[in-house]
Amino acid sequence: MAKTIALIAHDGKKAEMVAFVKDHQEELSKAHLVATGTTGSYIQQTGLEVELKLSGPKGGDAQIAAMAAEGKIEGIIFFRDPLGKHPHEPDIQMLMRICDLWNVPLATNPATGSLIIKGLLEEETKLYGK
C-alpha cells in the first residue's frame, strides 16, 4: 500500500516546494500525496495526483493534523517561512505538536524533506516507535 505524505508550503515557499517536488517526482509518484489547497494546486501542475484539503489558513493545516493523529499520514513535508507572520500560527503549532505526540516525521526544509522521502519511499524502513 502506498505511503501517504502531506505537503504544505507557506506562500513564500511555494516555488521552493514545486522545485522540490520536481526533483523528487519519481519517488513521490509512488506515494499518496495530500496537500493544503493552494500548495496542492501548484503541485498538481507537475502532473502528480494530489488529494486537496482546504487552504492552510482556512483549516487545511488542521485537517492534515487530524489525519496525522488518526494514523493516516506517514510523513509531512512543510516548508515554513520562518520570517513571515501567519494568522493561522496556532494551527501550525498544533500540527507540529500532533507530529511530536504521534511520532510522525515532519520536515521543514528541503534537506529533511529529502530524508523523509528516502526513509519512507526508497526503503522499507521501520520507524522508531511505529
Q: Which residues are annotated as a binding site for substrate?
A: 10, 14, 36-39, 55-56, 88
User: Which segments are annotated as binding site?
Assistant: 10, 14, 36-39, 55-56, 88
Q: Is 3 exposed, middle or buried (0-12, 13-18, 19+ CB in 10 A)?
A: middle
Instruction: Give the DSSP H/E element, type plus range, for residue 51.
Output: strand 50-52
* Catalytic residue status for 61: yes
CA-based radius of gyration for the chain: 13
Catalytic residue among 61, 81, 91, 100: 61
Nearest to 110 by CA among 10, 6, 17, 33: 17
Residues annotated as catalytic (active site), given as ranges: 61
